[in-house]
Homo-oligomer: A and B are copies of this chain.
Amino acid sequence: MTGERPTSDPLHGDMSSEEFRRYGHQIVDWIADYLDQAGTYPVLSQVAPGSTRQALPQQPPQHGESMDAILEDFQRVVLPGVTHWNSPGFMAYFGITGSGPGILGEMLTSALNVNAMLWRTSPSATELEQLTLDWLRQMLGLPAPLFGVINDTASTGVLYALAAAREAIPHLYIRQKGMAGRHELPPLRLYCSQDTHSSVDKAAITLGIGQEGIRKISIDADFRMKPDELEQAILEDLAQGWLPFAVVATVGTTSTSSIDPIPRIADICERHQLWLHVDTSYAGTAAIIPEFRWILEGCERADSLIVNPHKWLFTPLDCSVLFTRRPDVLKAAFSLVPEYLRNNESATDEVPNLMDYGNALGRRFRALKLWMILRYFGQDGIIARLREHIRLARLLARWIDESPNFERMAPTPFSLVCFRAHPKGMDDLDELNALNERIMNTINARGRFFISHTRLNGAMTLRAAIGNLRTTEAEIREFWQQLQEYATI
């Protein structure tokens, strides 16, 4: 039968090593070509909803199929439904980037297939994670000791950090006693700015803090949390019987990449003994650049901090680093060792059992790709590439500033440019918003670029986020041309 698999023993064991080798080589070649040509695909997939699913059988395959047939369907059905995050024209959300050494690392990780829940279940996975994150700490200029652990996403990391913050409240024993039905327990509150990432809201929901347990602090004209208002809010809440326990500040907000005033926020947290978590998921890696070292000023006083190598450090998804100065508290919030996971090796600071620092037990060997990336590019290679992204963003920002038909909507501290078309004489907000929405949709439909938006003081604002290793000045020039072309549509 066409497409069925002609193997000698179709009912036992794995794919043969000959077959793995053949298709492995084929896929490596495909990946190399794909990465070279990533810019030739429409960035945002143009398939109709449901069409991918409809193009495939609705019943599971009864018999094994050949890898040829599977890869043919990958090309014919799956690939058109892919939005190409690798495209040099991908500038939506935060432009992220994988890299060759990262993909090679993932190949090894998936082949080794270790679950690094305990030190013993793969010592080098745990130790490489500790070493590589200490390298990253040094590159970021953060003082030792600082404990690091890799999670899938920053959403997970902030959930764990805030669980630790909750556990750090003296005498409440929330891990043991929970939060419901305790008449002695005041309502808990955490603080963040209006522009803090939605993952903080989700963490508060998950932890049972509730959306009402978050108090959002206003932002200034540059979209930074107002520290005076933060302290005022804490004092008000204390007076009204709330129990403040944590503040989440951000270096590089999602909307505009603004930088909250961390040193002043840290002062307030110290004064009121609140856990300070700093979200630097996107922008934190910029601190590797000497002239950007200042962005993490104050972060040495944070209780926890997140930086995502899978955003702007060339690392394929997923790899989000949670650093904490208080690993003992994180462990106290989560460690729980059932009999079937006990073992002779002692868990020490040097060789921790990483399952103790979060909710998830299973753990991929994610440090391997990061270790390979840091070594392959080296600190100076990383600095040069990040600087180039920032240079491109500033170039675009300058063109926008110099244009009579466009305006920048926020400062451009990193590689994200927030702007809108604003043709002379068009001053109605609704009209401007509609124009910019049309521009975004037109650009995205044309297929060379994919951008997303935010809303700043009611204004529909376009976001061009430069962060892919394949993006060059040529793309930025072409993007600017398209923008000018569409500025009056």
Contact = CB atoms under 8 A, between A and B. Distances in A.
B376 A5 contact: yes
B44 A120 contact: yes
Interface string A70-98: 10001001111111111000001100111
Nearest to A106: B110
Contact of A344 (B29, B82, B337, B441): B441
A25 interface: yes
A350 interface: yes
A360 B156 contact: yes
Contacts of A177: 210-212
Interface stretch (A222-230, A264-272, A451-459): A451-459
A60 to B, nearest CB: 4
B198 A138 contact: no
Given A28-B25, A178-B204, A441-B344, A155 B360 contact: yes
A345 B106 contact: no
B77 A98 contact: no
A64 interface: yes
B210 A207 contact: no
Given A212-B177, A340-B255, A362-B152, A74 B108 contact: yes
A252 interface: no
Contact of A83 (B69, B107, B114): B114
Nearest to A256: B340
Given A70-B376, A156-B360, A317-B362, A52 B123 contact: yes
A442 interface: no
B20 A104 contact: yes
A399 interface: no
Interface string A113-135: 11100011111110110110011
B107 A340 contact: no
A96 B114 CA distance: 9
A188 interface: yes
A80 B124 contact: yes
Interface string A377-389: 1111100110010
Given A65-B375, A211-B175, A378-B64, A350 B49 contact: yes
10 contacts: A20-B32, A31-B108, A52-B124, A60-B139, A61-B135, A83-B122, A113-B317, A155-B359, A179-B180, A181-B243
Sort A-B residue pairs by CB-CB distance and give the 3 closest, nearest first: A178-B210, A81-B124, A15-B100
